[in-house]
A and B are shown apart, each in its own frame.
Chain A
Amino acid sequence: GDSVTQMEGPVTLSEEAFLTINCTYTATGYPSLFWYVQYPGEGLQLLLKATKADDKGSNKGFEATYRKETTSFHLEKGSVQVSDSAVYFCALTPNQAGTALIFGKGTTLSVSS
């Protein structure tokens, strides 16, 4: 079935470092891809999304490009801040009509000053 695999954490970085969190997916149809973020004490929030191949989603300095050829949707940020410390979840919807999100396990990011 459809699935999402993301890199194991935790990821520990210093402020202003470059961030990459890898995400690959398996899907039979034409999925939409998402990154959700959970800050401490809060619910998951949509960070960015891409609905078709080669789309780039971006928000708050984060970006991810939908790569159909490598079935990937890696999250990147050029310069992380302490406030970016959170758990990041890669997810997909298998098709246009589905209501269900399929998530990865989540990757914990810890940024120190």
Chain B
Amino acid sequence: EPEVTQTPSHQVTQMGQEVILRCVPISNHLYFYWYRQILGQKVEFLVSFYNNEISEKSEIFDDQFSVERPDGSNFTLKIRSTKLEDSAMYFCASSVFGTANTGELFFGEGSRLTVL
């Protein structure tokens, strides 16, 4: 069964360092997303991506964050200069259709980021 895969599963970094989280969405999906969950808090939407551009983003997704689809398979989230409050589980998701209403989102297992 096709699945969304994320790497790394856990990354520990020093504050101020750049981090890249990688995702391989399901191959025939066209829409890609990043969500995050800070420990004990809600899963929060960060950004959605379609046709090589951001289609929607939240207030959390500030200039420190960027997304890219560098080739035909990977979808990356870059945090330019990590802060302590960026420590969270980051979930990648993909879907065939562009709205959660009409299309199921398929999520990866998550990448846990710990900023020290």
Could you say which residues of chain A place their CB within 8 Å of the CB of B41? 105
A-side interface residues, number (CB < 8 Å) = 26
Query: What is the minimal beta-carbon distance from A26 to any residue of chain B, in angstroms?
Result: 13
Give the CA-CA distance A98 to B41 in the complex, in Å.
Answer: 22
Q: Mark A82-113, 1 if CB is under 8 A from B, else 0.
A: 00000001010100111111111110000000
B3 touches A43 (CB 8 A): yes
B43 touches which of A51, A89, A98 (Cβ 8 Å)? A89
Given contacts A99-B31, A99-B55, contact A93 B109 (CB under 8 A): no
A93 and B101 in contact, given A98-B56, A99-B55 (Cβ under 8 angstroms)? yes
Task: Report if A51-B101 is in contact (Cβ < 8 Å); known contacts: A43-B4, A45-B107.
Answer: yes
**Contact (Cβ within 8 A) B107 A43:** yes
Whether a CB of chain A sits under 8 angstroms from the CB of B75 is: no
Q: How far is the CB of B36 from chain A (nearest CB, A)?
A: 11
Q: State the total of A-B contacts with C-beta under 8 angstroms.
A: 72
Q: CA–CA, A41 to B55, complex, Å? A: 29
Q: How far is the CA of A51 from the CA of B43 in the complex (A)?
A: 21
Q: Is A46 an interface residue, CB under 8 A from the partner?
A: yes
Of A44, A89, A98, the residue contacting B99 (CB under 8 A) is A98
Q: Within residues 16 to 75 of chain B, which ones have a CB less than 8 A from any CB in chain A?
A: 31, 33, 35, 37, 40-45, 48, 55-56, 58
By the criterion of a CB under 8 Å from any partner CB, how many residues of chain B are at the interface?
A: 29
A residues neighboring B (CB under 8 Å): 4, 32, 34, 36, 38, 41-46, 51, 89, 91, 93, 96-106
Q: Could you list 10 A-B pairs, sorted by A, with CB under 8 Å?
A: A4-B42, A32-B101, A43-B107, A44-B93, A45-B106, A93-B99, A99-B55, A99-B99, A103-B44, A105-B43
3 closest cross-chain pairs (CB), A and B? A43-B107, A103-B43, A44-B107
User: 19 other contacts beyond A34-B100, A93-B100, A102-B45, with CB at 8 A cut-off?
Assistant: A43-B4, A43-B107, A44-B107, A45-B106, A45-B107, A51-B101, A89-B43, A96-B101, A98-B99, A98-B100, A99-B33, A99-B55, A100-B48, A101-B35, A101-B43, A101-B100, A101-B105, A103-B43, A105-B42
